[in-house]
Structure 1
Amino acid sequence: MPFRYYTATTLDGFLADDHDSLDWLLTQPLEEGGPMNYNDFYAGIGAAVMGYTTYQWLLDNELADGKPWPYEIPSFVFTHRTITPVADSISVIDGNPADHRDRLTEAAGGKDVWVVGGGDLAAQFAEAGMLDDMIVSIAPVTLGSGRPLFPRRYDLELQEFARNGAFLCARYSFVGARKPLAKI
């Protein structure tokens, strides 16, 4: 059962701008049933994990006007903060992802675990040897700064790619941590 980082990024490698806005993402044309689409991906997901900033973004943007929590699957928020979950399917946990591997795997019930975001949490999963692939939709937008896609040095291998609307979609497997070059 893979741990998968499925996300979108700007061409210059940011998940959100400096104010955690995703307006750049929500204005791009996308074919709902096109290659590497969300619905096909989500059908194979049994549990979701996210950091506090992603969780808070969902509360501020997706739960507006009384909408319910968007995921019926078990959801885990990695944070050191004290928060009150807004749904019974949400668990708040902290620490190293490896400390929770068995719990996350069991919660997924034989399906995949989706590392929703952010980039730092995805990198922590990779460092724990718990990130099998990254599926990323790259938008034709640059922000110049913001929340990075993946703030660690890693080698990846391209497994597949496609175009979906304005997005270049790619799936990468993780080769391993990239060692700094020796100074000459």
Structure 2
Amino acid sequence: MNQRRNTVLFIASSLDGYIATKDESLEWLFKVEGEGDNGFAEFYETVDTLLMGKRTYDWVMKQDFEEFPYKNKECYVFTRSSYEDTENVKFVKDDVNNFMNKLKNKDGNNIWVVGGGELLNSFMQKDLVDEFIITIAPTIIGNGIPLFKEGNRQLDLSLKGTKKFNQFIELHYEVKK
């Protein structure tokens, strides 16, 4: 019997719980002194599938990457509109629950919920996130795009571990089932 794949949120947050400023800037994040890649490469090796919302995808595409940064992984972008799939991305309009049940039952490694807040909210409402890896930056933004939306359902978590990357602290939780 195959082991079911985990869906993992891996994201950075300000100390006051924001993933970006109101204008979607991450400048505050890059001002913090980390250590290496703050555990990204190690985490990235554990996943073979990425999920992101359309706004996060649009933000990634505006960056100055020479090529798509997730070329070697399956990448799905959730959207309410119809788009043509590309060489690197499949756009998903399907019901989140049905799509995830099919995806989680396929053979493979873990599934990374890249972001953003809207996608995470819909996943949390349907109990589709198995683990949270949140790297906290020692920055208070004051307002912006929140990591967790008001009205999310309550989830009970169990701490799997912590890591320190210079000024960043990584908190790794699994959802109690």
- Write the mapping of 1:93-172 to structure 2, written as runs, cut at 5 A: 93-105=92-104, 109-151=107-149, 152-155=152-155, 156-172=157-173
Amino acid at match of 1:131: V
| CA RMSD after TM alignment | 2.0
SS of the residue aligned with 1:154?
Answer: coil
User: Where do 5+ consecutive residues of structure 2 fail to align?
Assistant: none
Distance 2:29 2:101 in 1: 33
> Contact 1:30–1:165 (CA<8 Å) still a contact in 2?
yes
SS of the residue aligned with 1:58?
Answer: helix
**Residues 153 and 62 from structure 1, CA distance in 2 versus in 1: closer, same or farther, beyond 3 angstroms?**
farther
Residue 68 of structure 2 corresponds to 69
Greater Cα shift, 88-97 or 76-85: 76-85
Which whole-Å deviations, capped at 9, do the CAs of 1:50-83 have from their partners, x for residues lacking one? 00111011011243xxx11110211001011344
Percent identity between the aligned chains?
28
Q: Tell me, yes or no, if structure 1 residue 14 matches structure 2 residue 15.
A: no
Greater Cα shift, 15-24 or 74-83: 74-83
Amino acid at match of 1:32: G
User: Where do 5+ consecutive residues of structure 1 fail to align?
Assistant: 177-184
TM-score scaled by structure 2?
Answer: 0.86
Distance 2:40 2:13 in 1: 14
Kindly state the Cα deviation for residue 29 of structure 1 after the two structures are TM-superposed: 1.4
Distance 2:131 2:117 in 1: 13
Greater Cα shift, 122-131 or 2-11: 122-131
Kindly state the Cα deviation for residue 104 of structure 1 after the two structures are TM-superposed: 2.8
Amino acid at match of 1:163: K
Which whole-Å deviations, capped at 9, do the CAs of 1:120-173 have from their partners, x for residues lacking one? 212222222221011010001111111111212433332211211111110112
> Contact 1:2–1:113 (CA<8 Å) still a contact in 2?
yes
Residue 57 of structure 2 corresponds to 55
The structure where helix makes up a greater share of residues is: 1
Amino acid at match of 1:118: G
Distance 1:153 1:102 in 2: 20
> Contact 1:62–1:70 (CA<8 Å) still a contact in 2?
no
Distance 1:50 1:171 in 2: 20
Distance 2:41 2:145 in 1: 25
Number of matched pairs: 169
SS of the residue aligned with 1:135?
Answer: strand
